[in-house]
Amino acid sequence: MSTGELLAVVRAAEGLGLADGGGCWAVPAAGPGQAAAALARLEAERSPRWVWWSAQDLLAPLLQVDGAAPGAGLRGPRPARAWDLAAVHRLLEGGADDGPAAVRAAAAGLDPARAPAPGQLDLGGAHEGYGSEPDDGSGGDDDGPLRPDGHLRPEWVDGGWADSPGRAARWAQVALETARMQEARLRRQTGEDAPAAPLDPVQTAWSESAAAVLAVELGVAGLPLDVEEATRVVERLVGPRPRDEAEAARQRAARDAPLLAALGHGAAPAGRGAGEGALDLRSPAQVRQALAELGLDLPDTRSWRLERLAAEPGAHPVLAALVAWRQAERFAVAHGHRWLEETVRDGRLRASWSASDGGAGRMTASAGVHSLPRELRSAVRARPGHLLVRADLGQVEPRVLAVVSADPALARAAEEDDLYSPVAARLGVERDVAKIAVLAAMYGQTSGAAGATLAAMERAYPVATAFLVDAARRGAAGEDVRTAGGRRIRVPAVEEVPVEAGGAALDRARSQRAARGRYARNAVVQGSAAELFKAWAATVRSRLLGSGDGEVVLCLHDELLLSVRADAAADLAAAVVADLAAASSRWCRAVGRRPVRFTADVAVVERWSQAKG
């Protein structure tokens, strides 16, 4: 893979600011169209690795959907390579604070407490060492972007760099310097602060930056939606679109009535609210009390608990009624008529995407995209002349565990299409029990059937379980952990409780430590899986960018959904599997581990609902 020359870019109102190893300069560009054309020209001429503070800030205003165009359906700059300062900062530091001030401070090893806050004034001579800088001849005689202590000046952070193309060029130069600092920090990472030290952490930065670009493109392009089908599904499950709030209230009452009857409570008289004697089904405390009156004394009314209890033989019928009501209510609130009105435009579901959350680094989206009910998958439909290619990673987290732990026995199990079958044979149990054992190890489950299989898992796969136990130990102590690719996962500090504080306080502290341990042991696997997934998604995006045959329209946990030209769909279905093999092999080498086999279930369909799983 070519690395490309680093070329930093900043867009101001009147042009682009650019910087490379030879210096910084400005290119006039009035409006988004000229800016996009200038970027496209530079992409074609130099094939650089673009450096920017944030792909969202730079690219989103320059991209738009071109419904008449074949293939990708997006018009505007489509960079092949990038170094996204915000994305790399989140990789290095964890958390979600990725503004320029925090990025520069961390890259330069400066005290983050002294970084400028938004809107903060720099009073010049009122602060020792914060004097003016001489004119450097690159954009004016004002103070430069940096304070003498190395932090960014607050007026530049607040947008002062956009006052002229010359200042934008100086801002681009700071971005370029910051990228080089980040690269140096990545290369200095060692096993002292990471369970599995990456052999080439810069590759992780590249794929994280590519994911940041993909997140912008997903947000602009949207998910193709058959609005008529979506409306039919919502009306079937929720009812017709209410004409006013009174009709919406009647629909809620109709949804509530069967459950209220099952709980032994009649519907509230017309005009009377929950505070006037009616049971409020939307209050967990009141629902728990109503269940207790029926002899069901539950510690809480969490969905997973209710679903498990409702599935048991001889379960009280009210539990199934409550589960059904919860599902209908969740659908009505999160994916009902208002959701359609607010999120669907021009036949596409619009969402804001992030390349990594503040935890383990998974891609996230707004608008309920990642919790889209299965009932609505029939509405996700390829646009005319196109088909959907759906590719879903198989058993990805245990395969990732085999990589990051370097457990040879688990790596051998991953050679099979169904990893759990050889695990079951090694443990001497049924396949379903083996699956529980693997999940219990990764999630730290110690009770019930999961706990009973955990000891067998430790004996059969000691390297993998030792890796997880070490991550749990560090998390329980309040230490941050890192993924295989080097992402810092912040673990909250554990509350220090003196012995004399008493039983309740000590129990709370023990519970905190246990929860942090479980989080850490899963996060190092889940976060590493997210890095593999993004490396794969970036590889697929690169293929589609080169061919012009389609676009990535959804990244859902471990699943890719592509909208592609119908005549290219079969070839692309095979290509995404080849891309997985290439991306996973490259990722394994980057994290210093031997390749492990990864699999994907691939289908070519017109509607998402037609794909199995």
Task: Say what the pLDDT of residue 173 is.
Answer: 97
Strand partners, 52: 84
* Average pLDDT of span 197-224: 89
Task: Say whether pLDDT at 27 is over 70.
Answer: yes
Task: Say whether pLDDT at 512 is over 50.
Answer: yes
> Could you tell me if residue 170 is inside a domain?
yes
**Helix, strand and coil in the chain, % to nearest 5:** 55, 15, 35
For the chain, percent of residues with pLDDT exceeding 70: 89
Q: Band of the pLDDT at 66, cuts 50, 70, 90? A: confident
Is 428 found in the same domain as 408? yes
Residue 450 and residue 436 in contact, taking contact as beta carbons nearer than 8 Å: yes
Task: Say whether pLDDT at 141 is over 60.
Answer: no
Which of 526, 542, 570 lies at the terminal end of a domain, its last residue? 526
Is 117 found in the same domain as 164? yes
Task: Say what the pLDDT of residue 349 is.
Answer: 95
> Could you tell me if residue 158 is inside a domain?
yes
57 Cβ contact list (under 8 Å, min separation 6): none
Is 387 found in the same domain as 406? no
Q: What is the pLDDT of residues 388-416, one digit of tens each?
A: 999 999 999 999 999 999 999 999 999 99
Which of 188, 209, 240 lies at the terminal end of a domain, its last residue? 188
Is 369 found in the same domain as 308? no
> Could you tell me if residue 57 is inside a domain?
yes
In whole angstroms, what is the distance from residue 8 CA to residue 13 CA? Answer: 17
> Could you tell me if residue 503 is inside a domain?
yes
Q: Band of the pLDDT at 137, cuts 50, 70, 90? A: very low
Task: Say what the pLDDT of residue 517 is.
Answer: 93
Residue 77 and residue 36 in contact, taking contact as beta carbons nearer than 8 Å: yes
In whole angstroms, what is the distance from residue 36 CA to residue 77 CA? Answer: 6
Q: What is the pLDDT of residues 513-564, one digit of tens each?
A: 999 999 999 999 999 999 999 999 999 999 999 998 999 999 998 999 999 9
Under DSSP, is residue 331 helix (H, G, I), strand (E, B) or coil? helix
Residue 14 and residue 30 in contact, taking contact as beta carbons nearer than 8 Å: yes
Enter the pTM of the model. Answer: 0.89
In whole angstroms, what is the distance from residue 70 CA to residue 43 CA? Answer: 21
Is 391 found in the same domain as 334? no
- Name the pairing type of β-strands 599-605 and 386-394: antiparallel
Is 404 found in the same domain as 513? yes
In whole angstroms, what is the distance from residue 469 CA to residue 474 CA? Answer: 9
> Could you tell me if residue 1 is inside a domain?
no
Is 505 found in the same domain as 462? yes
Q: What is the dihedral of CA 175, 178, 183, 186, to 10 degrees?
A: -130
Under DSSP, is residue 354 helix (H, G, I), strand (E, B) or coil? strand
In whole angstroms, what is the distance from residue 60 CA to residue 81 CA? Answer: 16
User: Bigger pLDDT: 73 or 199?
Assistant: 73
Q: Which domain holds residue 429?
A: 399-526
> What's the structural domain count of the chain?
4
* Rg of the chain over all Cα atoms, to the nearest angstrom: 27
Q: How far is CA 529 from CA 300, 535, 587, in A?
A: 32, 10, 10
CATH number at residue 580: 3.30.70.370
Using alpha carbons, select from 94, 7, 93, 107 the residue that is nearest to residue 52: 7
* Average pLDDT of span 44-48: 94
> Could you tell me if residue 601 is inside a domain?
yes
> Could you tell me if residue 195 is inside a domain?
no
Q: What is the pLDDT of residues 213-250, one digit of tens each?
A: 999 999 999 999 999 999 999 999 888 999 989 998 89
CATH number at residue 416: 1.10.150
Is 147 found in the same domain as 13? yes
In whole angstroms, what is the distance from residue 397 CA to residue 419 CA? Answer: 11
User: How far is C-alpha 584 from the geometric centre of its chain's CA atoms?
Assistant: 19
The pLDDT mean for the chain works out to 87
Is 147 found in the same domain as 136? yes
Q: What is the pLDDT of residues 340-368, one digit of tens each?
A: 999 999 899 999 999 998 888 999 999 99
Is 385 found in the same domain as 263? no
What number of residues does the chain have?
Answer: 613
> Could you tell me if residue 206 is inside a domain?
no
Is 171 found in the same domain as 35? yes
Q: What is the pLDDT of residues 78-128, one digit of tens each?
A: 999 999 999 999 999 998 789 999 999 999 999 988 888 766 655 443 333
Is 306 found in the same domain as 172? no
Which of 501, 526, 551 lies at the terminal end of a domain, its last residue? 526
